[in-house]
Amino acid sequence: MTDTPRYEPHDIEQKWQRVWEDERAFSVPNPVEGEPQAENHWYQLEMLPYPSGPSLHMGHVLNYTMGDVQTHVRRRSGWHVVRPMGWDAFGLPAENAAIKEGRHPRVTIEANIETMRAQMKRLGWAIDWEREVAAHQPTFYRWTQWLFQQFVAHDLCYRREGPVNWCPNDQTVIANEYVVDGHCERCGAEVELRNMTQWFMRTTAYADELLEYPGADWPEKTKAIQRNWIGRSEGAEILFRCEETGDDIAVFTTRPDTLFGATFMVVAPEHPFVEAHAGDEAKEYAKRAGARSVEERSAAVEKTGVFTGLHAVNPVNGEKLPIWVADYVLMDYGTGAIMAVPAHDERDAEFAETFGLPVVQVIDEDGKLVNSGRFNGLPADEAKGAIVAEIGATATVNYRLRDWSVSRQRYWGCPIPFIHCETCGVVPVPESDLPVILPDIEDYAPKGMSPLAQNEEYMNVACPQCGSAARRDPDTMDTFVDSSWYFLRYVDPHNHEAPFDRFVVDYWLPVSQYIGGVDHSTGHLLYSRFFVKAMNDWGMVGFREPFERLFHQGWVTLGGTKMSKTKGNVEGPDEVVARYGADATRLYILFMGPADQDMEWTPSGVEGIVRFLRRLWRLVHEVAAAAPAPGERQGLLARKANETIAKVTDDVLRRFQFHTPISAVMELCNEISAAPDAADARFATETAVSLIQPYAPHIAEELWGVLGHERLWEAPWPEADESQLARATFELVVQVNGKVRDRFQADASLSEDELVAIARDSERVAGFLDGAEPRKTIVVPGKLVNFVV
Ligand SMILES: [Zn+2]
Ligand SMILES: [Zn+2]
């Protein structure tokens, strides 16, 4: 084979990238109302990058290559696929990076975007670049501001004074969702509570609905994280009257059945009752305790507290309970006051033990009430309602979720489009004056208040209502406001009349497949759902969930820790691409292991992939010369080729597995190498090239040409000839409560989870499950699935 040219990845890659760019190969037009539309459409989305660093890291490379494989396979399977990209350009990470470099954030961010875009193009990802958006462009943030005003107009965004999380290092308020164990998620500094007047998004208005995921196929663990964050609990609000002052103190409890066991009451140090009525000692204690961080307070080993000298009357039996102030009760949960039931609550028990307070057991081992007067003997569950009714308390639901604070005292963000007038109050900037442009200022360093506040030219403005001198809102928005709707703008990025056209978003959305980090579960992924539900209520979109399918990739680690800008252990793709080419880099990042598991980046491993590409290169040239075209589609190699088609397709589209298809194509190539002049070698080789195309589109395109074809990126995805698939199957029996409800042939290679999934999909079974989650599922591999409901 002396005439086989050398495999030169850089030449090939640049050649095809130029072709795709010239042809606008991955641009897709939007549907036009009244004209015929492609029915099979797919919105492929990966979380957009922060351009806070001068390079993509290998975690990005993993995500965007996964999205790329999905894009190519779907496109070639006849789907109309949109796959956009953009930049989360505002916000703390970008601003902090700029400050570190001593350059204006805009300069740094735009330079980073240039670099990252070039890296993306160099990797050959099939992105529709005509839809590119960046959050810091006025064409985008004009609509962020417009939406902000809509939220205010619909009473879903409001200003109030209240305790907020202050990061002393970043010198700004941060949202609850980004406080991790009492520390700033960005910089690790311990967060302080401050009382400030801030804008809040009323996420709690949708608390109940956010617990459900109609039509959204999300990982159970993500739903569990969100539900836990929302923290819904059912209970009752019970009023205790203070014997000495006559004040009613409201207590939220999930356990009204234990009311007879209440032996004292505890109020939080911040509770207004303390300031109003408690003695000096209690006030002094409250002042000290309230200044401690929430984390310190919850982690404290020793319980502390002070008796206020006052008593509360238990409404169920008239007993007088001493009222204590103690820092283990938080103002932010429930009502900031609790009835303490030391017999049935661990923290109350510790407190009672420390201060020698009485303990009264009111539930016995059988779960029935004791020491509870006329309720004795009643099961605890029944007693809840009965006691609530008896004392005339209100059954109520409590949530852990708090409204989202969105004001930031930093420069690099979307200006808040409101004006403060002494006469008219808080007035929206008229729509015709949007966007409020973020001015270029010299001194943008954080200073504990918004840097914009000192810019008189920006701040001074006439009130749009009365015309008198007024001031702009000096704060900027949390960058998560930008990312709560960017995926809607992507599908209609050049719209000058509105943030997007409803017809267009209703065509493309919900997003068919979203890929991104599980670390965004209680932030971005929750906020986006809140935004979409609100917009659906206003008639702006025709759906209620933004992301139909969600996949969380594993972390790419370096030296055992997650690669990320904040951790400072970033390794970019440049070196490995320069050395081995984009195709090898793409293949390798997906070959490293299951995409949902963490993987350690070891660049030396690329060598193995490069050897495979060279082998494939030689093999295709050899077969093109030796095996006749079009070639047989029967035989051992053809059978192997068909099995590989079935496996790769199933792995990518259904199982979301990206490493196993690469091994499968490698195996196929090994078998072809053993018989390169077999009558079916050409068919098998063409199949191998076609199947590897989504992973390594450049070499695949080049080799497709060697095989006498062109435009593989548009060629139909291969379909397996079922008659050639030797598949082991067995008869799967599906039971509901032990009764046989269906039986059918199932693939012997399916995992237990997959068996459960196909069993649930059976229509005959679905009727008996009635949409409910089975209490228990029993799987006997190779035999049966039994649902217990
Ligand atoms: Zn911080
Ligand atoms: Zn005014």
Residue 461 C-alpha to ligand 2 middle, in angstroms?
Answer: 10
Whole-number average pLDDT of the chain: 92
Residue 472 C-alpha to ligand 2 middle, in angstroms?
Answer: 12
With a cut of 70, say whether residue 564 has pLDDT above it: no
Residue 166 C-alpha to ligand 1 middle, in angstroms?
Answer: 8
CA 321 – CA 534 distance, rounded (Å): 45
Residue 136 C-alpha to ligand 2 middle, in angstroms?
Answer: 29
Q: What is the pLDDT of residues 212-229, one digit of tens each?
A: 999 899 999 999 999 999
CA 105 – CA 111 distance, rounded (Å): 10
User: What is the pLDDT, as a whole number, of residue 174?
Assistant: 85
pTM, whole model, 2 decimals? Answer: 0.85
Q: What is the pLDDT of residues 172-184, one digit of tens each?
A: 888 888 888 788 8
Identify the top-confidence range among 293-302, 387-396, 574-583. Answer: 574-583
Peptide bond into 573 cis (omega under 30): no
Q: What is the pLDDT of residues 275-323, one digit of tens each?
A: 899 989 999 998 888 766 665 676 677 889 999 999 999 999 999 999 9
With a cut of 60, say whether residue 2 has pLDDT above it: no
Residue 228 C-alpha to ligand 1 middle, in angstroms?
Answer: 24
With a cut of 50, say whether residue 518 has pLDDT above it: yes
Which CB contacts under 8 angstroms, 24+ apart, belong to 345-351?
A: 345/255, 347/303, 348/266, 350/303, 351/266, 351/303, 351/305, 351/324, 351/326
User: What is the pLDDT, as a whole number, of residue 679?
Assistant: 92
**Rg value, the chain, Cα:** 31
Q: Which ligand has the minimum distance to the alpha carbon of residue 408?
A: 1
Return the SS3 of 174.
strand
Q: Which ligand has the minimum distance to the alpha carbon of residue 420?
A: 2
Composition of the chain by helix, strand, coil, percent to 5: 40, 20, 40
Q: What is the pLDDT of residues 81-119, one digit of tens each?
A: 999 999 999 998 888 888 888 889 999 999 999 999 999
CB 200 within 8 A of CB 159: yes
Residue 476 C-alpha to ligand 2 middle, in angstroms?
Answer: 22
Residue 100 C-alpha to ligand 1 middle, in angstroms?
Answer: 15
User: What is the pLDDT, as a whole number, of residue 1?
Assistant: 46
User: What is the pLDDT, as a whole number, of residue 294?
Assistant: 64
Residue 58 C-alpha to ligand 1 middle, in angstroms?
Answer: 25
Q: What are phi and psi of 398, to 5 degrees?
A: -120, 150
Report strand pairing: 556-558 vs 550-551: unpaired
Contacts with 19 (C-beta within 8 Å, 6 or more apart), sequence order: 25
CA 347 – CA 189 distance, rounded (Å): 28
Residue 510 C-alpha to ligand 1 middle, in angstroms?
Answer: 33
Which CB contacts under 8 angstroms, 24+ apart, belong to 741-747?
A: 741/765, 741/768
With a cut of 50, say whether residue 394 has pLDDT above it: yes
Q: Which ligand has the minimum distance to the alpha carbon of residue 96?
A: 1
Residue 183 C-alpha to ligand 1 middle, in angstroms?
Answer: 8
Residue 432 C-alpha to ligand 2 middle, in angstroms?
Answer: 18
CB 239 within 8 A of CB 197: no
Q: Which ligand has the minimum distance to the alpha carbon of residue 421?
A: 2
CA 164 – CA 158 distance, rounded (Å): 14
Burial class (CB in 10 A: 0-12, 13-18, 19+), 456: exposed
Please state whether 198 falls in left (phi above 0), alpha (psi between -120 and 50) or beta. beta
CA 679 – CA 685 distance, rounded (Å): 11
- Per-residue tokens: 494: 């050049």
Residue 568 C-alpha to ligand 1 middle, in angstroms?
Answer: 15
- Per-residue tokens: 274: 């303390």
Q: Which ligand has the minimum distance to the alpha carbon of residue 426?
A: 2
3-state per-residue secondary structure call for 63-101: HHHHHHHHHHHHHHCCCEEECCCEECCCCHHHHHHHHHH
Give the DSSP H or E segment for 690. helix 681-692
Residue 182 C-alpha to ligand 1 middle, in angstroms?
Answer: 11
Q: Which ligand has the minimum distance to the alpha carbon of residue 464?
A: 2
Contacts with 187 (C-beta within 8 Å, 6 or more apart), sequence order: 96, 167, 169, 170, 566
User: What is the pLDDT, as a whole number, of residue 163?
Assistant: 77
Handedness of CA 451, 455, 460, 461 (dihedral sign): negative
- Per-residue tokens: 169: 């290092």
Residue 167 C-alpha to ligand 1 middle, in angstroms?
Answer: 5
> Residue 692: how many CB atoms within 10 A of its CB?
25
- Per-residue tokens: 24: 């606008």
Residue 429 C-alpha to ligand 2 middle, in angstroms?
Answer: 12
From the list 477, 485, 438, the residue with the least C-alpha distance to 86 is 485
Residue 171 C-alpha to ligand 1 middle, in angstroms?
Answer: 7
Residue 259 C-alpha to ligand 1 middle, in angstroms?
Answer: 42
Q: Which of 418-432, 512-526, 696-710, 721-735 has the lowest mean pLDDT?
A: 721-735
Q: What is the pLDDT of residues 75-91, one digit of tens each?
A: 999 999 999 999 999 99
Beta strands in 429-491 (DSSP E): 460-462, 469-472, 476-477
Residue 423 C-alpha to ligand 2 middle, in angstroms?
Answer: 5
User: What is the pLDDT, as a whole number, of residue 781?
Assistant: 84
CA 557 – CA 152 distance, rounded (Å): 42
525-546 average pLDDT score: 98
User: What is the pLDDT, as a whole number, of residue 567?
Assistant: 64
- Per-residue tokens: 657: 């597995």
CA 710 – CA 755 distance, rounded (Å): 40
> Residue 776: how many CB atoms within 10 A of its CB?
8
- Per-residue tokens: 336: 């900031």
With a cut of 90, say whether residue 435 has pLDDT above it: yes
Residue 344 C-alpha to ligand 1 middle, in angstroms?
Answer: 39
Q: Which ligand has the minimum distance to the alpha carbon of residue 169?
A: 1
Residue 412 C-alpha to ligand 2 middle, in angstroms?
Answer: 28
Report strand pairing: 337-340 vs 179-180: unpaired
Q: Which ligand has the minimum distance to the alpha carbon of residue 191?
A: 1
Residue 427 C-alpha to ligand 2 middle, in angstroms?
Answer: 8
Residue 290 C-alpha to ligand 1 middle, in angstroms?
Answer: 21
CA 598 – CA 600 distance, rounded (Å): 7
Residue 172 C-alpha to ligand 1 middle, in angstroms?
Answer: 8
The residue ranking higher by pLDDT, 335 or 499, is 499
Q: Which ligand has the minimum distance to the alpha carbon of residue 471?
A: 2
The residue ranking higher by pLDDT, 755 or 529, is 529
- Per-residue tokens: 305: 């507290």
Residue 587 C-alpha to ligand 2 middle, in angstroms?
Answer: 61
- Per-residue tokens: 668: 């196929």
Return the SS3 of 620.
helix
Q: Which ligand has the minimum distance to the alpha carbon of residue 170?
A: 1
- Per-residue tokens: 387: 């006691």
CA 289 – CA 145 distance, rounded (Å): 40
CA 210 – CA 204 distance, rounded (Å): 9
CA 73 – CA 69 distance, rounded (Å): 6
Residue 424 C-alpha to ligand 2 middle, in angstroms?
Answer: 4
Residue 439 C-alpha to ligand 2 middle, in angstroms?
Answer: 23
Residue 430 C-alpha to ligand 2 middle, in angstroms?
Answer: 13
CA 631 – CA 680 distance, rounded (Å): 6
- Per-residue tokens: 191: 């967060």
The residue with tokens 């209680």 is 522
668-677 average pLDDT score: 95
User: What is the pLDDT, as a whole number, of residue 405?
Assistant: 92
CA 732 – CA 746 distance, rounded (Å): 6
Residue 443 C-alpha to ligand 1 middle, in angstroms?
Answer: 20
Handedness of CA 43, 47, 52, 53 (dihedral sign): negative
Which CB contacts under 8 angstroms, 24+ apart, belong to 310-313?
A: 310/242, 310/243, 310/244, 310/245, 310/277, 310/278, 311/242, 311/243, 311/244, 312/240, 312/241, 312/242, 312/243, 312/249, 312/265, 313/240, 313/241, 313/242, 313/243
With a cut of 80, say whether residue 3 has pLDDT above it: no
Report strand pairing: 776-780 vs 739-747: unpaired
> Residue 208: how many CB atoms within 10 A of its CB?
12
Q: What is the pLDDT of residues 272-283, one digit of tens each?
A: 999 899 989 999
Please state whether 334 falls in left (phi above 0), alpha (psi between -120 and 50) or beta. left
Give the DSSP H or E segment for 311. strand 305-313
Residue 425 C-alpha to ligand 2 middle, in angstroms?
Answer: 7
Q: Which ligand has the minimum distance to the alpha carbon of residue 185?
A: 1
CA 283 – CA 280 distance, rounded (Å): 5
Residue 157 C-alpha to ligand 2 middle, in angstroms?
Answer: 21
Residue 467 C-alpha to ligand 2 middle, in angstroms?
Answer: 6
From the list 781, 766, 787, 765, the residue with the least C-alpha distance to 732 is 781
Residue 336 C-alpha to ligand 1 middle, in angstroms?
Answer: 27
651-666 average pLDDT score: 95
With a cut of 60, say whether residue 65 has pLDDT above it: yes
Q: What is the pLDDT of residues 354-375, one digit of tens each?
A: 999 999 999 999 999 999 999 9
The percent of residues in the chain predicted with pLDDT above 90, rounded, is: 75
